[in-house]
Every structure is written in C-alpha cells, then in structure tokens.
C-alpha cells in the first residue's frame, strides 16, 4: 500500500483529541486538597478534561495566597472563590463567575461554649478569627447587632488549635469537615450559621477572568462543562473519588472522615434537586442587597458582566430545516406503507380485543374485590361470583367448600327438597376430591331474576363444568361448579379456570391475613412490654414505631415520639452521627452489600428538659422484594452508666487531693503539645517545682494540715496560669507546669518568678499560718530536649541544683 494513503487513512480514523496536544490550564483551589474539591478530582479521574482536550493542573492554596490575584495575573486560568467575588467585581476587578458549585455556603462560625445555650452575643468584646473572603460572616454578625467595633478581628491561620486552646472565642470554618474534626476530638463547640439570619450565600464558586472569557470562550466552555460533569460523578460515587484522592492528592484526613465530609456536602450542593453549577440571578441580587445593607457596596452593580452566559451557537437553522423536510418525506412514505400493513392486522385483531377487554374489565373488578381486607369471606365470595354471572348471564356458579370448621359456611342453598336431592345426585362425583363428606354449597342467583330451579329441568339437559381450586388442597379444598343450559366452549374453560385460581388465591389471602394479625398481635405484646425501647424508622428519618417503654426512659409518650423526626428525637451531635450512618448504610446496601452493624451511644432529649444516654443497636428492614426500606433498633438506657464512667475517667486522670491533673494526664498533654510544636515550629516549656519547708509543716501540724497546704498550693498555681497551660501534681509536694505555646523564651522566667513570689506568701491554714517557698527547675523545647522524658529529666536536675544552692546558702 502507498505510504501516503496509509497515513491519510490513519489521520481520518484516529480520534481528534489524540492528534493534537492537550491545552494546559491551571485551577487555583482556595484551600488545601480535600473532598471540598471532589468534582475536579473526578473530572480528572474519569478523563472528562482529557476528552475536552485539556490538561488541568489542580493547585492547592498556600497560607496568605489570594486566589483572585492568581487568576488576574494569569498564573492560573480558573479559580475557586466565595461569594465575595461580587465585591471584587464591583471594585472593577476582571472577574467572571462560571458556576455556583455549592448552592449553600459552607462558611460557619465555631465558638467554644461559654453558656448553657448558644448565644452569638457572647462574642461581644472577644477575639474572632475570620478567613479571607468571609464577608458573609461579617454581614451575619452585623445583622445580629455586632458591629466591627464590638469584637476584635484576627487574621485566620487555617488551624483549629487557637479555638481549642482559648486563643480566640470563635473562628470561621467549613461546616462540611471542621465540626466533624472537633466532634472526633471530643471538643465541645457551638456552631452559628448565617442562614439562621436570612443570609444564604453561594459557596465555592468557579470563576475566571473576563479577559480569558473574551479571548478563549471555547476553552472556558469546555473546562466548565467537564468540571460540572465531574461534580455530578463525585456526589454519586464519593467512595471511588476518595480512593483516587488518597492516591493522587494524599492528605492527613482519614477515609472515614472524608466519607463523612461527602455526606455533609450533599445538603450544600443539592445535586439531587438541581444540576451542578446552577446560577440564579435573583439570588445574586439578594447577595448584593445584603452587602449593600452592611455598607460593603455603595450600589448594586449590573450583573450582566459578572454572571456566566453560554456562548451563542452558530445559526444552522436553514440546514436543519432542509434536513427535517427531507426526513419528513422519507418518514411519510415509510409510514404510509406501514399503516397499510397494520390496518389489515388491526381488522383481524379488533374483534378478539373487544372480547378480551370485556373479560379483563370483569377480571380487574374480581381482583379488586379479592384485595379488599375489610370484607368478610362470605361477602367477598358472593360478590366475586355475582361478577362472574354478570359477565355470562347463562352461568350459574356454585362454590363447593370443605373444612366447615376453618372456612365459614357462606350461603345456604335455596332450593326445593326435590331440587336439593337432584343437586346432591349431580355433584356426588366431586365428593371424592375433598377431605370430608358434606359439602357447604354457595349458589348465586341470577341478577334481576330468580335462578331456574333444578327441579324444572330434566336430568341430562343441564351442562356441568367443575374446576378444582388451585390452592393448597390441604388447607383450602373445594370446587368451583358452574352449570348452564348450553354446551361449554374453549373460551368458557379459560375464563372459569382463571376464576377458580383467583378464588383460591383470595381465600388463601384471607386466611394468611388472619394469621398475620395474630402474629402482629404477639409481636406487639412483646415490644410493648419490653424494658428496652424498640423502634423502627424509615429511610428519611421518620419514626414509624416505638415501644411504650420510651416514656420511662425519656418522659415522652409513644404517641408524642411518633410525631418526631430523628433530628428531634436526638441531640444535634447524635442526630448527625445517625444520619451519616444512614447515608453510608444506604450506599453499601445499594452497592449490594449487607446492612452494616451499627452500635453507638446516643444522647436524647428528655421531656423534663435534660438529656439521657442510650446504647443503640440497629439492623436493616427489607420488604418482600428484598428492598431496603428502613431500620429497626433497640435502645438501652445508659444514663447512670455514663455518669459512673465519667466519674471513673476523671478519677483516673486527676489527683484525688488537689483535683489537678495527675502524671498520666500531664504526660498525654505534653506529648500532644510536643507534636503540635514540632509541626508548627513553636516552643514550649516544662517547669518542675518542689515545695520548701513542707515536711516541717507536716511534722508539726499533722497530715491534715499538709493536705490543706497542698490543696492551697494547687489552687494558687491554677489561678496564676493561663487556661491553655497545665499544672499537675506528680506526687508528694512535687508539682509540674506545662507552658504549651511560647512567644518568647523570656516568658518562662517571668512565669517562674510569679510562681516563686506567690508561693512565698503566707498560707492561712485551719491550724496555723505558715510560710513556705519552692525550688523550680525548667526545660525548654527544643533547646533543652526533644522528647518528654528528656525535658522532665532536665527540669528535675535544675530543680535539684536550685534546692542544693538554697541549702548551701543557709
């Protein structure tokens, strides 16, 4: 073959996207890698960018980086930003919104509890740490009556320790992951959302520059479409995308936490209700109005140059019209030929269809009657046989049933004595088909007129047809007997056989329904008298049953709980835990896996205003088709056990005399502080102190006085130190202090001087006023040691040296 033809065929057959180099673009993320950007990972994993002829680099943010600056400067073609992009646009920045990925902003305020109930006013006069682009939170605080002068604004450092250690009263955070981190760490917090004040902004918006939009509209369209396809895939297959993330963009976040974050993002993206990236211009007008009310905008700008608009396609109307006309002509010719052929068959089938429609209508009525649960068996069978005779007035149906003790005698035969004797003679042949002699006979009179008596017809002139009931003959034996004056045809046999089968099914269903009622009564008796609380719930969180024992445990009656959703029957944290488990269980069952075992301690509101703890175990509920339809659970009261466990946990970690942390708790906090300081290159100090003149007090005034002095010393140290510091009693008269975050090594000396001065003051005890002092040794990380044992050993050596110097100076 000529080589020129070979390469020509190769170019014609080869995919176009493989013939040209992919165009490289960068997407600047607004945070470090996490499930928050799952759609872009999915677009990369599934090849959506590659199919669009793009090679996309996903760039994580670094501290202090501004995404908008990266896009405007051209270092990135696309970026992810908050709704504050509107403020940048109003200031004249070159920004074009492409898609609203988060239909509801995930920005919230997390605050440490300072009162029994959450109160945003508690932030007045406090330090509040907000990240860049969090103007919606400032608008929320303003709407709640907190102006910029009412709190101290601190620059965000992208970490939770400042909140945990009490450095700030509140921080901005993402509701999809950071509350979960605090829950997992066991840290109590309050969560405030701007949506509670009517401020409902978009979040994580995809944007570009107007310059790129005008210069390369095809590139922008391809990137936007591929990214939104990625978001659709990511929210439908979170587990698969997480696996790809952990391989391609590894983070410190666990798989379980990423799954929980994915579940929490469902309500923010709402991909089950609207397509990803949906933009509502009226809602952006609302966002602009909120900014204007807060003084962040002088006027609402024209949004035409800000919001995404699809590029106009090339007008090929005339080409489409010509193709449609040609296609219409071809279809018309084909349709004409098809109609001619079909009409011949329709004329043949029409007569048969009319006959079948008449029977199907009657059959549907019979089935509807058989499905009625409230009708007694005798009334039900009477109605069914009346419908049969209405369909064929020549039919005279009779239902022969055995088992008089199990199935009621429906209707007595209304015949003359001669007619009854003739009937017994005619049906004697069917007596062998039943368990016992003496059949109960049901005769249906002709509608409108009495049925002709058997005595009026000569023997041999009536035609009989019998159909055994096609059920369990050991349970429902019987025969459907029909007589008429003319002969039976094939069509009659088909109809009557069908009716016999339906009657048998109807009688079996009636019997099974009675058995089911008895079974349900027994099960309800067991659940109603159980000491534990037994409950069921559907897949949307509605309580569908709960045993009366709930009133002993929670104070609510079963009727009151049945009106509650799972979010009302549990506290917020426990409800979130259950809902996350429901999402994971639903995903596993949908994937063909069994319902996962779930055992957890959950907190529930009590009617008296408090809460109770219960150990809950659940299992899946499936219908007859094997479909997962709900959850059944058993709850056991754990309130007293949890109180005992908490008390024991406290005793195991605290000194019984002073109430200060003991050695075990101190070492745990020291290890945590060392890990944090190593990661963030911070300093910490350990101070080891021993009381002077303690033994003389103990010897002169007794152990009670010594114990009182130790408690007074512990209280004095506790008042001197910050909330983030730790003071512990190691044993005897030996105490240790942890200073976890130092701005300067000079702080250690100042703290040691304060402690020395405080413990040199007289202590007024019950028996006497005494004056002691202390010897202090100190060790600084990382200068004096790199681990806990080294720091304590060095501090101990320094304390010993100081004590010897004090003794030598006497």
Is the per-residue pLDDT at 402 higher than 80?
A: no
Let me know: does 89 contact 302? Beta carbons within 8 Å.
no
**Does residue 283 lie in a domain region?**
yes
Per-residue pLDDT band for 442 (boundaries 50, 70, 90) equals very low
Q: 3-class secondary structure for 320-381? A: HHHHHHHHHHHHHHHHHHHHHHHHHHHHHHHHHHHHHHHHHHHHHHHHHHHCCCCCCHHHHH
pTM for this prediction: 0.41
**Which CATH number covers residue 784?**
3.30.70.270
Give the C-alpha distances (Å, rounded to integers) separating 182 from 37, 357, 804: 21, 67, 46
Using CA atoms, how far apart are residues 738 and 792, in angstroms rounded to an integer? Answer: 10
**Does residue 315 lie in a domain region?**
no
Mean pLDDT confidence for 766-792: 92
Distance between alpha carbon 790 and the CA centroid of its chain, in Å?
Answer: 47
Is the per-residue pLDDT at 461 higher than 60?
A: no
Task: Count other C-beta atoms under 10 Å from residue 65's C-beta.
Answer: 14
Mean pLDDT confidence for 278-294: 87
Is the per-residue pLDDT at 481 higher than 80?
A: no
Using CA atoms, how far apart are residues 72 and 28, in angstroms rounded to an integer? Answer: 11
Q: Are residues 686 and 804 in the same domain?
A: yes
Give the three-state DSSP class for 763: strand
pLDDT at 638: 74
Let me know: does 78 contact 25? Beta carbons within 8 Å.
yes
Count of helix runs (H) and strand runs (E) in the chain: 28, 25
pLDDT tens digits, one per residue of 695-716? 889 888 988 989 999 999 999 9
Using CA atoms, how far apart are residues 384 and 409, in angstroms rounded to an integer? Answer: 16
pLDDT at 669: 93
**Which CATH number covers residue 541?**
3.30.450.20
Residues in the chain: 810
- As a whole-number percent, the residues of the chain with pLDDT over 90 amount to 26
Is the per-residue pLDDT at 473 higher than 50?
A: no
For strands 533-538 and 628-637, give the pairing. antiparallel
pLDDT at 176: 83
Let me know: does 443 contact 411? Beta carbons within 8 Å.
yes
Per-residue pLDDT band for 525 (boundaries 50, 70, 90) equals low
Active site residue 733: yes
CA pseudo-torsion sign 251, 253, 255, 261: negative
pLDDT at 597: 82
Q: Write phi, then psi, for 370 (nearest 5 degrees).
A: -65, -25
**Which CATH number covers residue 454?**
3.30.450
Residue with the larger pLDDT of the pair 387 and 733: 733
Task: Count other C-beta atoms under 10 Å from residue 755's C-beta.
Answer: 21
Q: Are residues 615 and 762 in the same domain?
A: no
Q: What is the mean pLDDT of the chain?
A: 80
Q: Are residues 511 and 557 in the same domain?
A: no
Closest CA to 25 of 219, 262, 229, 242: 219
pLDDT at 20: 54
Per-residue pLDDT band for 678 (boundaries 50, 70, 90) equals very high
Is the per-residue pLDDT at 133 higher than 80?
A: no
pLDDT tens digits, one per residue of 294-337? 888 888 888 888 998 765 444 456 657 778 888 888 888 888 77
259 Rama sector, left if φ>0, alpha if ψ -120 to 50, beta otherwise: alpha
pLDDT at 810: 61
pLDDT at 441: 47
**Does residue 365 lie in a domain region?**
no
Using CA atoms, how far apart are residues 547 and 568, in angstroms rounded to an integer? Answer: 17
DSSP string, 710-735: HHHHHHHHHHHS-TTSEEEEEETTEE
Query: 272, 305, 338 — which closes off a domain?
Result: 305
Q: Are residues 191 and 215 in the same domain?
A: no
> Which residue among the candidates 302, 733, 789, 796 is catalytic per the annotation?
733
Structural domain range at position 737 = 657-808
Element spanning 478, H or E:
strand 478-484
Q: Are residues 405 and 508 in the same domain?
A: yes
Q: Are residues 187 and 132 in the same domain?
A: yes
pLDDT at 18: 44
Residue with the larger pLDDT of the pair 613 and 206: 206
Residue with the larger pLDDT of the pair 362 and 226: 226
Using CA atoms, how far apart are residues 475 and 479, in angstroms rounded to an integer? Answer: 13
CA pseudo-torsion sign 265, 271, 275, 279: negative
Q: Are residues 101 and 111 in the same domain?
A: no
pLDDT tens digits, one per residue of 4-60? 444 444 444 444 444 457 899 999 998 889 898 999 999 999 999 999 999 999 999
- As a whole-number percent, the residues of the chain with pLDDT over 70 amount to 81
Query: 150, 181, 197 — which closes off a domain?
Result: 197
Give the three-state DSSP class for 609: coil
What is the C-alpha R_g of the chain? Answer: 41
**Which CATH number covers residue 138?**
3.40.190.10
Give the C-alpha distances (Å, rounded to integers) separating 117 from 114, 198, 298, 630, 652: 8, 21, 37, 34, 30
Contacts with 407 (C-beta within 8 Å, 6 or more apart), sequence order: 377, 401, 440, 476, 507, 511
Per-residue pLDDT band for 464 (boundaries 50, 70, 90) equals low
Let me know: does 97 contact 82? Beta carbons within 8 Å.
no
**Does residue 1 lie in a domain region?**
no
Range from 236-245, 256-265, 423-432 carrying the lowest mean pLDDT: 423-432
pLDDT at 351: 58
Burial (CB < 10 A; 0-12, 13-18, 19+), residue 181, is middle
**Does residue 451 lie in a domain region?**
yes
Q: How many CA atoms, within 13 angstroms, populate the side-chain half-sphere of residue 342? A: 6
Is the per-residue pLDDT at 647 higher than 80?
A: no
Q: What is the DSSP letter of 37?
A: G
Is the per-residue pLDDT at 640 higher than 50?
A: yes
Is the per-residue pLDDT at 70 higher than 90?
A: yes
Which two three-digit tokens encode residue 463?
């035609």
Segments of 676-791 assigned E as strands: 683-692, 726-731, 734-742, 763-764, 769-770, 773-781
pLDDT tens digits, one per residue of 92-118? 999 999 999 998 888 889 898 887 788
Contacts with 61 (C-beta within 8 Å, 6 or more apart), sequence order: 28, 29, 30, 31, 32, 67
pLDDT at 319: 59
Let me know: does 85 contact 207? Beta carbons within 8 Å.
yes
Let me know: does 406 contact 510? Beta carbons within 8 Å.
no
Element spanning 634, H or E:
strand 628-637
Q: Are residues 504 and 636 in the same domain?
A: no
**Does residue 313 lie in a domain region?**
no
**Does residue 481 lie in a domain region?**
yes
Give the C-alpha distances (Å, rounded to integers) separating 772 from 119, 638, 693, 710: 45, 47, 6, 11
**Does residue 346 lie in a domain region?**
no
Q: Are residues 266 and 173 in the same domain?
A: no
Residue with the larger pLDDT of the pair 741 and 191: 191
Using CA atoms, how far apart are residues 516 and 369, in angstroms rounded to an integer? Answer: 20
Query: 610, 644, 678 — which closes off a domain?
Result: 644
Per-residue pLDDT band for 225 (boundaries 50, 70, 90) equals very high
Range from 122-136, 229-243, 257-271, 455-469 carrying the lowest mean pLDDT: 455-469
Residue with the larger pLDDT of the pair 321 and 779: 779
Using CA atoms, how far apart are residues 765 and 706, in angstroms rounded to an integer? Answer: 9
Domain count, the chain: 5
pLDDT at 16: 45
Mean pLDDT confidence for 725-737: 92
pLDDT at 195: 86
Q: Are residues 140 and 128 in the same domain?
A: yes
Buried b (16+ CB within 10 A) or exposed e, 425-442: eebeebeebbeeeebbbb
Is the per-residue pLDDT at 628 higher than 70?
A: yes
Contacts with 457 (C-beta within 8 Å, 6 or more apart), sequence order: 485
Q: Are residues 761 and 790 in the same domain?
A: yes
Q: Are residues 619 and 481 in the same domain?
A: no
């Amino acid at each position: 073959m000529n080589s020129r033809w070979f390469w020509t065929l190769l170019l014609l057959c080869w995919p176009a996207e493989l013939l040209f180099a992919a165009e490289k673009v960068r997407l600047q993320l607004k945070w470090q890698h996490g499930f928050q950007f799952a759609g872009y990972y999915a677009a990369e994993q599934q090849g959506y960018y590659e199919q669009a002829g793009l090679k996309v680099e996903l760039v994580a943010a670094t501290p202090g980086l501004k995404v908008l600056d990266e896009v405007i400067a051209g270092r990135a073609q696309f970026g992810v930003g908050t709704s504050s992009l509107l403020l940048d646009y109003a200031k004249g920045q070159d920004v074009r919104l492409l898609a609203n990925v988060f239909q509801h902003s995930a920005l919230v305020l997390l605050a440490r509890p300072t009162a029994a109930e959450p109160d945003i006013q508690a932030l007045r006069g406090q330090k509040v740490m907000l990240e860049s682009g969090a103007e919606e939170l400032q608008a929320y605080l303003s709407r709640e009556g907190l102006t910029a002068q009412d709190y101290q604004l601190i620059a965000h450092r992208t970490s939770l320790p400042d909140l945990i250690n009490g450095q700030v009263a509140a921080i901005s955070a993402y509701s999809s992951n950071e509350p979960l981190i605090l829950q997992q760490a066991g840290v109590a917090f309050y969560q405030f959302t701007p949506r509670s004040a009517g401020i409902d902004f978009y979040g994580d918006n995809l944007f570009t520059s107007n310059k790129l939009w005008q210069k390369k509209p095809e590139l922008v369209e391809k990137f936007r479409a591929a990214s939104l396809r990625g978001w659709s895939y990511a929210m439908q297959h979170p587990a698969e995308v997480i696996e790809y993330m952990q391989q391609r963009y590894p983070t410190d976040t666990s798989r379980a936490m990423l799954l929980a974050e994915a579940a929490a993002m469902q309500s923010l993206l709402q991909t089950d209700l609207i397509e990803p990236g949906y933009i509502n211009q009226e809602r952006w007008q609302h966002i602009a109005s909120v900014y204007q009310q807060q003084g962040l905008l002088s006027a609402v700008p024209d949004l035409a140059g800000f919001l995404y608009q699809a590029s106009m396609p090339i007008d090929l109307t005339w080409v489409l019209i010509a193709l449609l006309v040609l296609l219409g002509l071809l279809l018309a010719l084909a349709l004409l030929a098809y109609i001619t052929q079909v009409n011949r068959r329709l004329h043949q089938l029409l007569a048969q269809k009319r006959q079948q429609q008449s029977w199907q209508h009657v059959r549907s009525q019979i089935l509807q009657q058989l499905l009625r649960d409230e009708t007694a068996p005798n009334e039900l069978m009477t109605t069914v046989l009346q419908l049969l005779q209405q369909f064929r007035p020549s039919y005279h149906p009779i239902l022969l049933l055995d088992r008089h003790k199990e199935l009621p005698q429906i209707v007595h035969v209304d015949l003359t004595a001669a007619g009854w004797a003739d009937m017994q003679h005619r049906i004697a042949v069917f007596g062998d088909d039943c368990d016992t002699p003496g059949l109960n006979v049901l005769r249906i009179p002709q509608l409108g007129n009495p049925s002709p008596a058997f005595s009026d017809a000569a023997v041999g002139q009536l035609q009989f047809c019998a159909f055994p009931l096609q059920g369990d003959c050991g349970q429902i034996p019987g025969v459907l007997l029909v007589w008429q004056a003319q002969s039976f045809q094939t069509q009659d046999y088909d109809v009557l056989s069908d009716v016999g089968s339906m009657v048998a099914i109807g009688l079996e269903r009636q019997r099974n329904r009675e058995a089911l009622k008895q079974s349900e009564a027994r099960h309800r008796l067991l659940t109603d008298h159980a000491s534990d609380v037994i409950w069921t719930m559907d897949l949307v969180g509605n309580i569908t049953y709960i045993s009366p024992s709930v009133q002993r445990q929670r104070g609510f009656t079963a009727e009151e709980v049945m009106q509650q959703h799972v979010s009302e029957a549990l506290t917020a944290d426990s409800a979130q835990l259950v809902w996350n488990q429901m999402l994971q269980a639903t995903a596993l069952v949908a994937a063909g896996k069994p319902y996962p075992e779930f055992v957890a301690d959950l907190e529930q509101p009590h009617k008296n205003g408090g809460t109770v703890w219960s150990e809950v175990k659940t299992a899946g509920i499936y219908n007859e088709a094997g479909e997962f339809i709900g959850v059944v659970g058993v709850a056991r009261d754990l309130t007293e056990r949890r109180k005992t466990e908490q008390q024991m946990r406290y005793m195991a970690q605290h000194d019984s005399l002073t109430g200060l942390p003991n050695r075990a708790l101190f070492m745990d906090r020291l290890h945590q502080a060392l890990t944090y300081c190593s990661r963030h290159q911070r300093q910490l100090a350990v101070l080891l102190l021993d009381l002077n003149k303690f033994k003389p007090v103990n010897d002169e005034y007794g152990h009670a006085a010594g114990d009182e002095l130790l408690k007074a010393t512990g209280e004095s140290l506790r008042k001197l130190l910050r909330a983030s510091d730790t003071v512990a009693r190691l044993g005897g008269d030996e105490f240790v202090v942890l200073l976890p975050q130092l701005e300067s090594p000079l702080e250690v000396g100042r703290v040691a001087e304060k402690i020395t001065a405080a413990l040199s003051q007289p202590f007024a005890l019950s028996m006497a006023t005494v004056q002691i002092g202390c010897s202090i040794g100190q060790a600084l990380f990382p200068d004096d040691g790199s681990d806990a044992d080294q720091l304590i050993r060095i501090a101990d050596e320094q304390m010993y040296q100081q004590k010897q110097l004090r003794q030598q100076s006497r």
